[in-house]
Amino acid sequence: MNFVWVLPFVFLCLGDFPFGDGKNVSSRSAAVHIGAIFSFDSTIGRVANFAIDEAVKDVNLNPSILHGTKLVVEKQNSNCSGFLGMIEALQLMEKDIIAIIGPQSSVVAHITSHVANELKTPLLSFAATDPTLSSLQFPFFVRTIQSDLYQMTAVAEIVNFYGWKEVIAIFVDDDFGRNGISALGDQLAERRCIISYKMPIPPGVVTRSEILDLLVKVALLESRVIVLHVNPDSGFTVFSVAQFLGMMGNGFVWIATDWLSSVLDSSFPLPSAKMESMQGVLVLRHHTPDSDRKRAFTSRWSKLTGGSLGLSSYGLYAYDTVWMVAHAIDAFFDQGGVISFSNDSKIKSTEGRQLHLEAMSIFDQGDLLLKNILRSNFVGLTGPIRFDSDRSLVFPSFDIINVLGTGFRRIGYWSNYSGLSTVPPETLYSRPPNRSIANQHLYSVIWPGETSLKPRGWVFPNNGKQLRIGVPKRVSYQEFVSQVRGTDMFKGFCVDVFVAAVNLLPYAVPFTFIPFGDGRENPSYTELVNMIAAGSFDAAIGDIAIVTNRTRIVDFTQPYAASGLVVVAPFKKMNTGAWAFLRPFNALMWTVTAVFFLLVGIVVWILEHRINDEFRGPPKRQLITILWREHGEHPWPFRANHMALCGIESLKTNDDPIGYQIGSFAEHYLIEELGISKSRLIALGSPEAYAKALQDGPSKGGVAAIVDERPYIELFLSTQCKFRVVGQEFTKSGWGFAFPRDSPLAVDMSTAILQLSENGDLQRIHDKWLMRSACSMEGAELESDQLHLKSFWGLFLICGIACFLALLIYFFKILKKLYVAAPPDGISDGQRESRSGRLRRFFSLMDERKDDTNSSSKRRKNPTDRAHLRLLISAATLPVASPFPSKLVVLDRGRGRNHSIVNPTTVLGIAAGQVLSIEPPPPCTVLWMTEGGKEKNV
């Protein structure tokens, strides 16, 4: 029984003594030690020093955390040196600390992270933003601030928001600078933008002359958008030299990363010379939401520092990092964690050498502490503190500020949730994410040069380099482009348009024409475009069609000439005149059409004669009625004039050879898009070859038709009057000048081409080179364009059958009435009527009005036996109260509801005895209605 009481005492006593090579501190000891590595005299370090001290003080004064265990911080000054930072980190490891806040530098973080992995000591850096500090490679490295991956995403979205395509990157040449700019390049590439030039600055102290040499090179480049990702000392030197070189004026764009905002926040106000040198600069700053705690700490900070040191976002992150460690240690103790250390066998094997590393020990339960750090979930001065699956802090966001006058102003925010916005990110987290272009907003910016006009972002480089412009050496159709014999100059429609557009640019563009092709046949324009993508040419001009496969590798300007593929074929010229409208039908077609025209009229007369007053009366009147109604109501034969002529579809269905121009994209289109066999295609190199091949035709080794672009065909047909375009243009495209992808010069040239079109110069250049009047094509028609009887035999067949059936039924009814009716007067029942008498009676029945065979009472009972109801409005039928009906109502007797209504305005003004025609389907009843609402059956 006594042994039970003694055993706990023994274990308690043994716990104060190390066993073997291990060292042990009991759980919930009086003090727990952590380290801190940063540069005490740096911009970030000065703020972090105060922030860490205040955070430790607040933790130790708060009884709800650590529960009596005192948090002790051992600080080491890295002096902005990677080597010293490594030494200081190793010295901290000798002191049996369980976590390190820092290092501040990304370079030092790379080195010390290896040591942290070996000794299982978490590193919590509030300032190392290098995105390559991966949790996979360095599992004990924890970044307690946002990575530069997000900052560079914000920069890329700003560049894309303003429509710039190229930037120049100036950066410090270390892990921090190189890896940050690498992330920027990736983010720009996703938005079809590029870093056109990278300008590294040596780490450490850089002289003004070195910066001057670098910026002189930058000034000669094309892009005017410069991203500055450096340290404060070198950064201000860059601005000073840029101002000296005139690079802080109109046209330039400067985007500085958060190194500048940390200085502005902590050292404001800056000397006037520094502020003057960076007017109009855009700056990014880590966004921290506004809160009561943050405002209270800011007020406390001002009293603490006496206003001599401002509070930057780095100070806020350093403060929250201390609290993160404190929460993790508290959870560590609650889980029964014990702070104990063991010697590293790998380090022990180095004994006897000059370096004495055996003092460094492994934190036995460092994994548990790391796990609690990554489980952090509280609200600090910087907002919510917790990590996502990538071990990055949630809700990455940045302020975007504009340096202006003696201070700066915020023009918006960027967040990984919703992009660019003028609304604080924390207000958007409750809404669905919206990254659409229309939802991206920033306030207006005052750019360098004190202008609110957005800079173009690039200029033509003033480095003496000329644009190498490829120009095809055409053999045919040299009106478009051709080389002047014996010189390096080119002339033609396309060349004049290009030169006129260049002359409209607001800057000089030196260029030289480089011929492309052997001069024996037209070159391949697809190969010419490919040479731009390969970098052999800076641009290409000429009659280059804008087609899909070319737009995938280069950018084209606005089209300066409309184009598209058409079919040209021989035709027999006909004289134009007053009867040219008869040409769509051939003679037989017109004859059959006229016969059917009369035939249908006769059938209608036969069917309508007995029941329709318009088809009664003198023969002359009836003939006029037949012709008029057939022309007005059934003009179907003439509608055939609108049917399409033969074109590419007819070429596809036969096996005739087809010609095309050498070098044209027509060959690829006919084979790949239309599926025409390559064996049917014949390459032709000149207008003369076109004419010969068309005249010879397929029977003599020529072609049935030629497929080419409309501008060539128009020029060809202006002198070749024996051919014409058949059918419609079956592709729509245009000619443009080709430039490398995302070339800003292509955009400016497009604007210039639009100016040429608006001021009429484009048309004048066209008329100079391409106007020809040797023959007119307006009245020319292909004989094969005429429509023949075989095209309509089905329509005529249907019409004939319908007429035949109608007449058959009609004659059957007449014959039936002929035999049923009583014999005429004077012929007894026993006598047989003569054949001529029956024929006369047959025609009499055909001519007899149908109403005449019915009694007047029957007519009154069934006024709607016909499809066309005719109302005779006379004085006798009008009501006493009103001279005219105010409304006519047609009732459908079959369904008992109104079928149609004739408005009063339709009836008013009709004179007595005039006929009003309406068309209700029988059976129906017609009523007139007075204004008083009374009804009467008409």
Q: Per residue in 471-509, pLDDT tens?
A: 999 999 999 999 998 888 999 999 999 999 999 998 888
Task: Please tell me the predicted confidence (pLDDT) of residue 486.
Answer: 86
Cα 383 to Cα 321: distance, rounded to the nearest angstrom: 12
Task: Please tell me the predicted confidence (pLDDT) of residue 775.
Answer: 63
Dihedral over alpha carbons 614, 619, 624, 629 (to 10 degrees): 40
Angle between helices 258-267 and 232-244 in degrees, nearest 10: 100
- Going by the DSSP 8-state scheme, the letter that residue 637 receives in this structure is G
Task: Please tell me the predicted confidence (pLDDT) of residue 324.
Answer: 97
Asked if 507 and 459 count as a contact pair (C-beta separation under 8 A), the reply is yes
DSSP string, 884-915: S-SEEEEEETTTTEEEEEE-HHHHTTPPTTEE
Task: Please tell me the predicted confidence (pLDDT) of residue 638.
Answer: 45
Helices (H) and strands (E) in the chain, counts: 30, 38
Asked if 110 and 175 count as a contact pair (C-beta separation under 8 A), the reply is yes
Task: Please tell me the predicted confidence (pLDDT) of residue 348.
Answer: 59
Task: Please tell me the predicted confidence (pLDDT) of residue 176.
Answer: 93
Task: Please tell me the predicted confidence (pLDDT) of residue 870.
Answer: 43
Asked if 412 and 443 count as a contact pair (C-beta separation under 8 A), the reply is yes
pLDDT block averages, 10 residues each, the chain of length 938: 36 36 58 92 93 96 91 88 78 85 90 89 94 91 96 97 94 94 96 94 91 94 95 94 95 96 92 95 97 94 90 96 96 91 70 58 91 95 94 95 95 95 94 89 96 91 84 93 91 96 90 93 94 95 93 95 91 55 65 76 71 65 61 46 59 89 90 90 93 92 93 89 86 93 90 95 93 56 52 71 77 76 57 69 68 44 40 42 46 43 41 45 50 46
Asked if 269 and 308 count as a contact pair (C-beta separation under 8 A), the reply is no
Asked if 684 and 661 count as a contact pair (C-beta separation under 8 A), the reply is yes
Task: Please tell me the predicted confidence (pLDDT) of residue 294.
Answer: 95
Q: Is the dihedral of CA 256, 259, 261, 267 positive or negative?
A: negative
Cα 234 to Cα 257: distance, rounded to the nearest angstrom: 13
Cα 411 to Cα 557: distance, rounded to the nearest angstrom: 34
Q: Per residue in 58-67, pLDDT tens?
A: 999 999 999 8
Which residue type occupies 224?
Answer: R
Task: Please tell me the predicted confidence (pLDDT) of residue 15.
Answer: 38
Task: Please tell me the predicted confidence (pLDDT) of residue 3.
Answer: 35
Task: Please tell me the predicted confidence (pLDDT) of residue 899.
Answer: 41
Residue whose tokens read 């050879």: 657
Task: Please tell me the predicted confidence (pLDDT) of residue 787.
Answer: 56
CB atoms within 10 A of CB 862: 12
Q: Which contiguous run of DSSP H or E holds residue 380?
A: strand 378-380
